[in-house]
Amino acid sequence: MEEIKDLDVIEELLETKQYTRLRQKLSDINIADIAIILEELEEEELLKTFRILPKSMAADVFSYLEVENQQYIITSLSDREAANIINNLMADDATDFLEEMPANIVKKLLSHASADTRRDINHLLRYPESSAGSIMTVEYVDLKENMTVEDAIQRIRQIGVDSETINICYVLDPKRTLVGTVALRYLLISPPDAVIADIMHENVIYLNTLMDQEEVARQFQKYDFTSMPVADNEGRLVGIITVDDVVDILQEEATEDIEKMAAIVPSDRPYMKTGIFETSKKRIPWLLLLMISATFTGSIITSFENALSAVPMLTVFIPMLMSTSGNAGGQVSATIIRGLSSNEIGYRDIFKIIWKELRVAIICGVTLAAAYFVKLMLFDKSGIDVAVVICLTIISAVSIAKVVGCTLPIFAKRVGIDPAVMASPFISTVLDALTLMIYFSIATQVLHLS
């Protein structure tokens, strides 16, 4: 709400060309909020306001903007202005931004950026997407073991004090191997002549540059650190990752899981920014595949045409049975997929899980069958033989559903397929066919059809 009020004020100041007051107003607003306000402005007003921003804020605000607006701004600025923004961005933000830009713009921007910036960015651009290397920042404070606290504070002043990444300082040996960490708070309360080697914390836990971002997030969750160092295969410090990046990773991964579980090809772009063709392209492959698979379910019905024409009322229960087994299977698979992705569950647990799900299936199946039996007897006045067929099918279908629902995601992970694909839409299609086969074989047996 606050932002809307600010937006009105800013639009008025822009219209009435009161640029000095505008600049003043902007410096009172938090950077993230300014970005939100800028997103609401027309392109020209956006550019005008961005240029008015105090220099010290411009790069930070820039890093919060949507890619489309970043691209618009950077191409509208002069080369020097643009290079200035790039130089002032944190290296990891600059890399994120450059990864989204066309190659010719990247080249032009980098050619104007300072040598330091260029080196940092090139360094990050070399790591595979979603690896620890690609999300780390190379801006951190490195100390030497033989420095005193006073030397260390001198070094911090020199490197710059604006970044949140200096709450932990990293102690390196001459080969740049990480030998310890010192929290800023210990520097603060230690005597100026204390030696770093004596106050540093050894046994540092670090990440590898090639570690996948999902694993990075898991390490942060495990250790509750606010930042972790990233080292290369030789143990040399190359960057650090801060917990605010981890928050973004977790959201991204959860969204990706949910999309895959809903039979959508996952996408990086937010829904409202994706065009209708791109949206359709993400949805059609699975719809098509599942549609073709569901055709087999139809042909199972055909092959039992005789049973159905002998007892036509059997058709009525088909949707209920398919839906129940699909839902029962979907419940387990969602639970297992989530457990696998948070590493709570592993392949080693498979027998424990099947045994648990079998017992849960009996409880669920019998409860549902009993409820449906009452409904059949009271409202449908169906024959006891049909009721027996339906109840036996419910119990068997729920049992199969629970077992399939827990084994498929675990096996998928085992053979390197993303388990999230084994969620409800896929599982339901498999279970529809299985349920019908169970249904018709029980019906054939109990009702003596042939």
Closer residue to its own copies in complex, CB, 284/377 = 284
Closer residue to its own copies in complex, CB, 75/303 = 303
Closer residue to its own copies in complex, CB, 109/181 = 181
* Residue 241 main-chain phi, psi, to 5 deg: -120, 135
Taking the complex as a whole, how short is the minimal distance between the CB of residue 65 and its own copies, in angstroms? Answer: 13
Ramachandran sector of residue 27 (left: φ over 0; alpha: ψ -120 to 50; beta: rest):
alpha
User: For 304-383, where are the alpha helices, taking DSSP H only?
Assistant: 305-310, 318-341, 350-375
Closest CA to 266 of 251, 279, 275: 279
Closer residue to its own copies in complex, CB, 87/221 = 221
Strand partners, 241: 228
Closer residue to its own copies in complex, CB, 221/444 = 221
Taking the complex as a whole, how short is the minimal distance between the CB of residue 341 and its own copies, in angstroms? Answer: 9
Closer residue to its own copies in complex, CB, 130/327 = 327
Closest CA to 225 of 264, 173, 167: 167
Closest CA to 398 of 321, 325, 337, 346: 325
What is the DSSP-derived secondary structure letter of residue 346?
A: -
Taking the complex as a whole, how short is the minimal distance between the CB of residue 228 and its own copies, in angstroms? Answer: 12
Closer residue to its own copies in complex, CB, 130/267 = 267
Taking the complex as a whole, how short is the minimal distance between the CB of residue 185 and its own copies, in angstroms? Answer: 5
Taking the complex as a whole, how short is the minimal distance between the CB of residue 245 and its own copies, in angstroms? Answer: 9
Evaluated on CA atoms 63, 69, 72, 76, the torsion sign reads negative
Taking the complex as a whole, how short is the minimal distance between the CB of residue 193 and its own copies, in angstroms? Answer: 16
H/E stretch holding 265: none
Both tokens assigned to 46: 């956006």
* Residue 183 main-chain phi, psi, to 5 deg: -75, 140
Taking the complex as a whole, how short is the minimal distance between the CB of residue 430 and its own copies, in angstroms? Answer: 11
Could you please report the per-residue DSSP string of 199-219?
A: H-B-S---EETTSBHHHHHHH
User: For 193-275, where are the alpha helices, taking DSSP H only?
Assistant: 196-199, 213-223, 243-261
Strand partners, 247: none
